[in-house]
Amino acid sequence: MTLLVDATTAQHTRGIRTVIDGVLNELPRVSQDTIVAAGPDLRGPEGLRLRRVPGTGSRGGRLLYQRLVLPADIALLSAGAGRIDRVLLLDSYVPLVRPQRCMRYAALIHDTLPLTHPSFWPLPNRLVKRSAFAALRRARPTLFTSSDFNAREIDRLLGASARVVRFGCGQLLDAEADDALVSNLPEQEPYLIFVGAIEARKDTLSLLDAFELITPLLDSPVRLLIVGSGRGTYHDAVRRRIARSRCSDRIELLHNQTREATLRLLARARALIFPSLAEGFGLPILEALALGTPVVASDIPAIRSWAGDTILYGPPAQPADWVGPILSAVDSSSERRRAGQAFAQGFRWRSCAEVMVDF
């Protein structure tokens, strides 16, 4: 009996790619009879059985495979590699054709944001997601998601129960999070950091407003590092806003940073500032906590439902009200930083993978 894991969505955005990488890194240790359907760029750990699926380098190709071709691929694999009896979809795209009655499916729903916050997504994306959720309602697979808040939204929108699984600490391997806990806290450098896409949903413009308000109140000059990429009109608006800022010489846009560079910057920041208006989870928050970096994030249910009182909060889209929380974060004691690391110990990719393959 063999488990097929569809990981073709790893070609997608940073957050989903990070989750898929985290699960796949643990798969060889938690499941021996596993085949991973992968796109052209996926690089799994040693011991992972990858099946390269042609055409899945593009969004259209991935959807074609997930929605239409996957059942045929299962039949082909069953004829050669041993019977496939379970399919784990690391995204919410179950095949449009009703899955075989004898086949057990599970799907990971990262978020419901295209339905609950449609203004942040173009119409084609919303229509694709609506179709995906309709197929999930028909197929009734086992559902996984990352937080109690997401589980409630899935119940509201699909009328289905989803099991909450705790992700690991983002781009950090479990061993790296463990090492950070027992190592000396990194010496903080004079900058604040944001990690994520430069887009309207992340409210980068409010981040810039808050930074301008906070700089005169700090004892020493600090910089703002915006680590991420973007495109289109919102990205252009952010660039223009930086150019006319009175603090423009202290703001840096850092595109295409490697995993190692991003984690190094996170570890030495005075604080992570995360003003997102809508989130599925917020992995950079966990990455920062595991590294001992204080966090100020938007006070939205998607974040508070799992982060609780471990981090500081600011009201969404109200930059003036972020000044106090940011000042508190910058002055965080070593005890507060260690408390964040201790909290992050409860989030492990190993346990996440163990639960998801055992459905």
Has this prediction a pTM greater than 0.85?
yes
Q: How far is CA 313 from CA 299, 300, 310, 318, in A?
A: 5, 9, 10, 11
User: No. of H helices and E strands in the chain?
Assistant: 15, 13
* Domains of the chain and CATH, by start: 2-165 (3.40.50.2000), 174-344 (3.40.50.2000)
Phi and psi for 273 in degrees, rounded to 5? -110, 125
pLDDT at res. 82? 67
pLDDT at res. 141? 93
pLDDT at res. 80? 67
Cβ proximity of 285 and 272 under 8 Å? yes
Which stretches of the chain drop beneath a pLDDT of 50?
none
CB-neighbour burial class of residue 49 (10 A; exposed 0-12, middle 13-18, buried 19+): middle
Q: What is the pLDDT of residues 212-259, one digit of tens each?
A: 999 999 888 999 999 998 989 999 999 999 999 999 999 999 998 999
Q: What is the pLDDT of residues 65-103, one digit of tens each?
A: 999 999 888 888 877 656 888 999 999 999 987 656 678
Query: Scanning the structure block, which residue is given the tokens 């095949």?
Result: 95
pLDDT at res. 287? 98
What burial letters (b/e) apply to 327-359, b meaning 16+ CB within 10 Å? eebbebeeebbebbbebbeebbbbbbbbebbeb
DSSP assigned state of 358: -
Cβ of 312: how many Cβ atoms within 10 Å?
A: 22
